[in-house]
């Protein structure tokens, strides 16, 4: 296609701006762009400003690069190709406008506070250049402003939110996109960790990126693990979870597609409740998305404002021990080592390590949230903040004071110590009787087991019972001093 031909009104292209939707299947914005019948510019912007503000380990950028390469291959199968441009967002759009004179821009909405601001600025800029902008719901099944109380209010408790969510009519996956053409435009290299100067400390990523890998993992889970998910999801030593969270984070799979597949599985089995436990996890994700959307101050502040006065421990040595997986509590340490090695941590263990940091070590949840943000392949701001405030008892939570006993949790969910032995090899020869409390072994047994407590593996850095009691005192001191607790929700809600 010549430049003159492309610039004729009937042949001016449309832009499909890819962000957290790195796939061709069930992608509303991409489907709508192709449906115009016009040339399509599938655009991914390597935004230098955005990258500078992302603390993630280089492995996350390599995961994204894998997803982008897979996206490019899938676009080529449809006749087009991915256009990658590096630079500040509006400058990139200016270049695309000058080179191709697009008539429309399509993108899927993102509900995180910084993304909302970015998208608003981009839409205003494009419209000022005479380009029509259309956005679509994609990263969630129900947008934050769809799940509201009868009076139009926002839910701050999961159970009624989930009940309302389930009553709403669900969208269905869009059809297979048609073939299309992409104008001849320059494309930069797909960026990975090395090209943007990020060090990779996560040496063995739990999953590989891309729509193809997401589809394969999801089909495997549906066929082998969904039926037993309710029982196996809490056992960290087995492959009982879907591990789809990184794919959801980068949009390598659609939650609408996942819901449709869960519904189909329930129909095949004749059990209406089949897959309900898994569906609950998808709803939790959307609940936290809605909380952050409606109460953006929770991105860095307690939902329960009275806990702004909480006196947290600022001892950097205990935080360092927690980060390195050297607290002396095997389940906590196994979880942190899994995170540091793979960029993923089993959900049950996430709750235990978060409770330990905030309740046993009395460390501000924001420190844990920031550290998770540097390591997790599946990092989503809403879920990360929501989960950490839940663990710290400062967020949206109907039963706020939960303190996990790391030893009892290990005994219950890793009864044979398989998960602990995998991630803490220095404990591999410890007898089952002591695997959860290795510090109780005598010197002779320590020698026989090949692990000297305090040397090869640390003694507990706190006494759990005393630490839990200390947290309770601090918690109730704050609570009693604020008889009429104030929440972020009572101060600021998105209009």
Catalytic member of 365, 367, 384, 423 = 365
Catalytic member of 17, 165, 284, 423 = 284
Does residue 483 carry a pLDDT above 80? no
Domain interval for residue 472: 305-491
- Compute CA distances 91 → 15, 44, 97, 122, 190, whole Å: 15, 13, 10, 10, 18
One domain for residues 226 and 368: no
CATH of the domain at 118: 3.40.50.620
Q: What is the mean pLDDT of the chain?
A: 94
One domain for residues 250 and 334: no
One domain for residues 248 and 273: yes
284 catalytically annotated = yes
One domain for residues 234 and 353: no
79, part of any domain = yes
Contact 374, 133 (CB under 8 A): no
**Domain count along the chain:** 3
77, part of any domain = yes
165 catalytically annotated = no
Please write the tens of the pLDDT for every residue from 334-368.
999 999 999 999 999 999 999 999 999 999 999 99
One domain for residues 46 and 75: yes
Catalytic member of 322, 388, 390, 423 = 388
Measured N-to-C along each axis, helices 113-128 and 89-100 cross at an angle, to the nearest 10 degrees, of 30
Catalytic member of 99, 146, 312, 482 = 312
Q: What's the predicted TM-score (pTM) here?
A: 0.94
312 catalytically annotated = yes
**10 Å Cβ neighbour count for 117?**
11
Does residue 113 carry a pLDDT above 60? yes
180, part of any domain = no
**pLDDT value, residue 65:** 98
Does residue 484 carry a pLDDT above 80? no
4, part of any domain = no
One domain for residues 290 and 351: no
Q: Please identify, among 139, 173, 192, the residue that sits at the C-terminal boundary of a domain.
A: 139
**pLDDT value, residue 433:** 96
Local confidence band at 479 (pLDDT 50, 70, 90 cut-offs): confident
175, part of any domain = no
CATH of the domain at 328: 1.10.579.10
Letter string b/e over residues 80-111, b meaning 16 or more CB atoms within 10 A of that residue's CB:
bbbbbbbbebbebbeebbeebbbbbbbbbbbb
Q: Please identify, among 139, 168, 197, the residue that sits at the C-terminal boundary of a domain.
A: 139
CATH of the domain at 238: 1.25.40.80
Q: What number is the average pLDDT over the span 434-459?
A: 98
347 catalytically annotated = yes
Local confidence band at 48 (pLDDT 50, 70, 90 cut-offs): confident
Q: What number is the average pLDDT over the span 195-202?
A: 96
State how far Cα 304 lies from the chain centre: 23
Does residue 75 carry a pLDDT above 60? yes
One domain for residues 389 and 247: no
Q: Which parts of 55-148 fold into alpha helices (H)?
A: 58-77, 89-100, 113-128
423 catalytically annotated = no
One domain for residues 273 and 338: no
Catalytic member of 73, 99, 281, 437 = 281
Catalytic member of 146, 347, 426, 439 = 347
> CA–CA separation, 441 vs 419, rounded Å?
20
One domain for residues 345 and 275: no
One domain for residues 37 and 121: yes
Which of 489, 328, 326, 307 is CA-nearest to residue 392?
307
Does residue 7 carry a pLDDT above 60? no
151, part of any domain = no
One domain for residues 279 and 340: no
Please write the tens of the pLDDT for every residue from 276-305.
999 999 999 999 999 999 999 999 999 999
Q: Please identify, among 238, 260, 294, the residue that sits at the C-terminal boundary of a domain.
A: 294
Largest CA distance in the chain: 85
> CA–CA separation, 116 vs 94, rounded Å?
20
Does residue 325 carry a pLDDT above 90? yes
Q: Output 439 or 480, whichever has higher pLDDT.
A: 439
111, part of any domain = yes
One domain for residues 112 and 93: yes
């Amino acid at each position: 296609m010549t430049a003159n031909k492309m610039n004729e009104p009937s042949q001016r292209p449309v832009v499909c701006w890819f962000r957290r939707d790195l796939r061709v299947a069930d992608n509303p914005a991409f489907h709508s762009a192709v449906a115009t019948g016009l040339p399509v510019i599938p655009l991914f912007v390597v935004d230098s400003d955005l990258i500078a503000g992302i603390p993630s380990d280089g492995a996350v950028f390599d995961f994204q690069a894998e997803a982008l390469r897979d996206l490019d291959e899938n676009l080529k199968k449809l006749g087009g190709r991915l256009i990658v441009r590096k630079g500040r967002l509006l400058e990139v759009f200016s270049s695309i406008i000058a080179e191709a004179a697009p008539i429309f821009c399509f993108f899927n909405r993102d509900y995180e506070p910084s993304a909302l601001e970015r998208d608003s600025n981009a839409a205003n800029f494009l419209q000022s250049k005479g380009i029509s902008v259309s956005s679509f719901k994609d990263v969630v099944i129900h947008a934050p402003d769809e799940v509201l109380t009868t009076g139009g209010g926002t839910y701050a408790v999961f159970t009624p939110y989930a009940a309302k969510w389930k009553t709403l009519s669900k969208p269905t996956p869009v059809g297979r996109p048609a073939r299309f053409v992409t104008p001849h435009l320059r494309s930069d290299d797909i960026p990975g960790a090395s090209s943007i100067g990020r060090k990779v400390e996560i040496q063995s990523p739990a999953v590989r990126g891309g729509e193809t890998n997401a589809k394969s993992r999801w089909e495997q889970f549906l066929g082998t693990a969904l039926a037993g998910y309710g029982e196996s999801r809490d056992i960290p030593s087995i492959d009982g979870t879907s591990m789809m969270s990184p794919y959801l984070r980068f949009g390598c799979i659609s939650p609408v597609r996942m819901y449709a597949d869960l519904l189909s599985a329930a129909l095949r089995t004749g059990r209406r409740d089949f897959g309900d436990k898994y569906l609950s996890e998808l709803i939790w994700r959307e609940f936290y998305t809605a909380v952050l959307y409606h109460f953006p101050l929770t991105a860095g502040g307690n939902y329960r404002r009275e806990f702004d006065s909480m006196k947290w421990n600022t001892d950097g040595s205990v935080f360092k021990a927690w980060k390195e997986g050297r607290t002396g509590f095997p389940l906590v340490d196994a979880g942190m080592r899994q995170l540091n090695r793979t960029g993923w941590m089993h959900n049950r263990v996430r709750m235990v390590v978060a409770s330990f940091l905030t309740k046993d070590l009395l460390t501000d949840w924001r420190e844990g949230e920031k550290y998770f943000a540097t390591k997790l392949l599946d990092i989503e701001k809403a879920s990360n903040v929501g989960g950490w405030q839940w663990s710290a008892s400062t967020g949206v939570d109907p039963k706020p004071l939960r303190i996990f006993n790391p030893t009892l949790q290990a005994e219950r969910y890793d009864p044979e110590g398989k998960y602990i032995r995998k991630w803490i090899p220095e404990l591999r020869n410890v007898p089952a009787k002591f695997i959860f409390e290795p510090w109780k072994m005598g010197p002779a047994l320590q020698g026989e087991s090949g692990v000297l407590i305090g040397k090869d593996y640390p003694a507990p850095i706190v006494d759990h019972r005393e630490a839990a009691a200390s947290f309770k005192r601090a918690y109730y001191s704050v609570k009693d001093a604020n008889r009429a607790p104030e929440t972020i929700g009572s101060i600021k809600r998105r209009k």
